[in-house]
Amino acid sequence: MMGDGAARFENPSVDEIRALLKRIKTIAVVGLSPNPGRPSYGVSRAMQGFGYTIIPVHPAAREILGAKAYPRLSDVPGSIDLVDVFRRPEHIGGVVDECLALKLKNLWIQDDIINIPAAERARAEGMTVVMNRCIYRDYVQYCR
């Protein structure tokens, strides 16, 4: 899935990423696993520790990290500042569809998850898109 397309997609600049991370407060995490051994759990727990409100989006979980889990983004009440995705590349298009339908503005696609067409479609509709980067690592590197 990576191919040479990964070289063509450009993430926002470090300054833009820093500004994004300082601006947002609520992060809906699509694919947040209830398993403490999974990267999504560790990253989300750390972001919670940095003061962000984490909203788990997982079809089978009731609660993760002490927060009520929702089956889909469209089930989340209230506002979402950023959608952070821990799903395989083939699922990114569906997540983008949900984000666009809900008029969400910011999408973060974690390390090693690359879907150029979906990311470009989100960006073309006005979303800020960060792809193939770790939100935790970027927060620690640029915001602490």
Secondary structure (3-state) at 67? strand
pLDDT digits (tens, 9 = 90+) for 17-36: 999 999 999 999 999 999 99
* R_g of the chain computed on alpha carbons: 14
117 pLDDT band, cuts 50/70/90, is very high
Query: Is it the case that residue 91 has pLDDT exceeding 50?
Result: yes
Sheet holding 26-30, edge to edge: 53-57, 26-30, 82-85, 106-109, 128-131
**Mean pLDDT of all residues in 140-144:** 94
Query: Is it the case that residue 136 has pLDDT exceeding 50?
Result: yes
**Mean pLDDT of all residues in 69-93:** 97
Strand 67-68 and strand 63-64: the pairing is: antiparallel
Domains of the chain: 20-143 (3.40.50.720)
Q: What secondary structure letter does DSSP report for 5?
A: H
pLDDT digits (tens, 9 = 90+) for 59-77: 999 999 999 999 999 999 9
pLDDT digits (tens, 9 = 90+) for 33-62: 999 999 999 999 999 999 999 999 999 999
Query: Is it the case that residue 106 has pLDDT exceeding 60?
Result: yes
Query: Is it the case that residue 3 has pLDDT exceeding 80?
Result: no
Instruction: Give CA 34 to chain center in angstroms.
Output: 16
pLDDT for position 1: 44
